[in-house]
Chains A and B, each alone.
Chain A
Amino acid sequence: MDIADIKRPENLVYRKPALITDNVMHYCPGCSHGTVHKLIAEVIEEMGIQDSTIGISPVGCSVFAYNYIDIDWEEAAHGRAPALATATKRLCPDKHVFTYQGDGDLASIGTAEIIHACSRGENIVVIFINNGIYGMTGGQMAPTTLIGMKTSTTPYGRDPKLNGFPMVIADMIAHLDGTAYITRQSVHTAAAVRKAKSAIRKAFEYSEKNIGLSFVEIVATCNSGWKMSPVDANAWMVEHMFRKYPIGDIKDVLK
């Protein structure tokens, strides 16, 4: 087969999702955000819900998520995305509403907002990117930073006596009656990407059933913040992050 034949559209087995815009992404090479954005765009496209989906972006690296996925967006103040999503969904119950938040946004400054949105059982989807560090502000400690992990505000490693312990948000909210589906995934291998996509799809489908909040945590890398190559960051994540944040479903009220 000639190379020109292989490149014909009907022969393509992989393409950029229609809902990913042509804007140049600002994410660092090796960052997990781009992959997760792609999965969300694919799920929205495949479910045919572009015209009924409203995304809420956070403060942090993914503040500009609205530049990359071709849907309507609200950009929240730091940590407040679940409050915006609450009102958006209650005032527009026929829409699919999701927040996209990092660990500084969701697990630190926005803890009250996420806990109470979960507790109220808001019918929204929360995508939680947990890479154990503040990316945008230059690699400071997050609530999810592992013990011993070096960041710009824990230059000698996180010490529980000084900095407390890592927060395991997904397990905490699993105890709340308002949550319907809670899962922890990653996107470091092709197999993991496929599983993460199924989880995101399930979360969006659950949000149509009005059975409570669906929460997809993605354990992610921040190779610039961690000061590692993308490959090393993936290996480090598997070895250390997965031990504290194990991959798999945590709660599913329909099972």
Chain B
Amino acid sequence: MAEKILMKGNEAIAISAIRNGVDGYFGYPITPQSEVMETLMKEKPWETTGMVVLQAESETSSINMIYGGASCGKKVMTSSSSPGVSLMCEGISYMAGAELPCVVVDVMRGGPGLGTIQPSQSDYDMIVKGGGHGDFHNIVIAPASAQDMYDFVDWGFELAFRYRNPVVILSDGIIGQMMEKVELHPAKPRRTAEEILEAAPWAVTGKPAGRPRNIITSLSLDSDIQEVFNQKLARKYAEIEAREVKYTEHLTDDAEYLFVAFGCSSRICEAAVDELRQSGIKAGLLRPVTLYPYPFGRIGELAGQVKSIMSIELNLGQMVTDVRLAAGGKCPVGFYGRQGGNIFTPEEIVEAFRKFNNLK
């Protein structure tokens, strides 16, 4: 049986990176995620797996270090929190444009601006709808536990290399700071030079005689060439949308009311659902695990089954626009949220639910 250890979500990210054969981590301190780099520095993986860990001079630099490392076909990652991820958006866009795989962890805090250091989910739009300039998508996966933080690092790299696309683990201050038991799956070694050549024949590894030079770039000055490239990206995104949607459901089979919530909010919502069930109300929960691609199809199906849907988020209502889109007018869609680093209780959610549905 795999070992179980009590640790913070942020620590789980670091330990998972070492145990899953990540080649490099480049980051810059920011609350509430500094434990990721602190844990890596304490563990000294360069002495065991050979993993490179470096504190960069800024988030701008971290993401561009990731660009450099990913260009070489290496598994490289960074982590930050909301204001730092804003700075990284330039680099994320370049990596999408150069089709580079990487994993970026955003442990969200309240904003806008410097905001607060408490948990929030207010980067949904920035990461799921954008993440930088231009026509592209990040693959976005949303952990709801320390175990997810551990597991999503490896899953993230799988997706990143399968599609040559940036993957964002969209976490938050609760999941990053909360301590939970984490099962450490068997370790996976770093890839050898030969394995990298096989997995990433496009990588910049030094040009041997006889192969054309490999060039990593997102530049094209010819509109027709750029359009062909954009359309190639569109086909990739269509494949991602067809193959990679992931969600979990709680008591939806006979549900008459549905909640949709991701990350830490889904944990709190689950308690609200259970509370409502105890008072005889058939509530259920759908938790999108992938935010891009989004489970539009399943939410749409459930919209035809339930009397209403509520999107529960730690922001002013960002994901709710996707829930409305998925529901397609089949049932009313409501929203409840807290902001600025404040967190709702299950009781608050139940109260908001009763108010929205005119239930006593």
Contact = CB atoms under 8 A, between A and B. Distances in A.
Contacts of A75: 98, 215-219
B61 A113 contact: yes
B66 A72 contact: no
Interface string A60-92: 000100100011111111001001111110111
Nearest to A59: B219
A74 B213 contact: no
Contacts of B30: none
Given A83-B61, A86-B54, A91-B69, A51 B219 contact: no
A83 B65 contact: yes
A91 B67 contact: no
Nearest to A93: B52
A112 interface: yes
Nearest to A72: B204
B206 A116 contact: no
Most chain B Cβ neighbours within 10 Å, of A70, A72, A116: A72
Interface stretch (B70-78, B274-282, B337-345): B70-78
Contact of A73 (B24, B64, B208, B215): B215
Given A72-B204, A73-B215, A76-B64, A91 B52 contact: yes
A108 interface: no
A63 B209 contact: no
Contacts of A74: 67-68, 71, 204, 215-217
Contacts of B66: 87
Contacts of B61: 80, 83, 86, 112-113, 116
B207 A77 contact: no
A125 interface: no
Interface string B18-56: 000001101000000000000000000000000010101
B238 to A, nearest CB: 27
B150 interface: no
Contacts of B62: 83
B26 A87 contact: yes
Nearest to B46: A90
Contacts of A92: 72, 205-206
Contact of A91 (B76, B98, B216): B76
B294 interface: no
Contact of B209 (A51, A54, A87, A88): A51
Interface string A210-246: 0000000000000000000000000000000000000
Interface string B286-302: 00000000000000000
Contacts of A53: 206-207
A73 B204 contact: yes
Contacts of B219: 63, 75
Contacts of A84: 64-65, 67-68, 71
Interface in A151-180: none
Contacts of A73: 204, 213-217
Contacts of B206: 50-54, 71-72, 92, 95
Nearest to B52: A90
Interface in B185-215: 204-209, 213-215
Contacts of A56: 68
Contacts of B208: 51
B94 interface: yes
A95 B214 CA distance: 15
A91 B24 contact: yes
Nearest to A56: B68
Contacts of A76: 64, 67-68
B118 interface: no
A72 B214 contact: yes
B195 to A, nearest CB: 14
Nearest to A78: B90
Given A73-B204, A112-B58, A113-B61, A83 B68 contact: yes
Contacts of B214: 72-73
Given A86-B68, A87-B65, A90-B52, A70 B207 contact: yes
B69 A77 contact: no
Contacts of B216: 73-75
Interface in B64-113: 64-69, 71-72, 74, 76, 90-91, 94, 98
Nearest to B218: A75
B213 A72 contact: yes
5 contacts: A66-B215, A74-B68, A90-B24, A91-B52, A91-B68
Given A72-B214, A95-B206, 19 more contacts: A52-B206, A53-B206, A56-B68, A70-B213, A73-B213, A73-B215, A75-B217, A76-B64, A77-B64, A77-B67, A77-B90, A80-B91, A83-B60, A83-B68, A85-B68, A91-B76, A92-B205, A112-B57, A112-B58
Going nearest first, the 5 A-B pairs with the smallest beta carbon separation are A84-B68, A83-B64, A75-B217, A87-B68, A87-B65
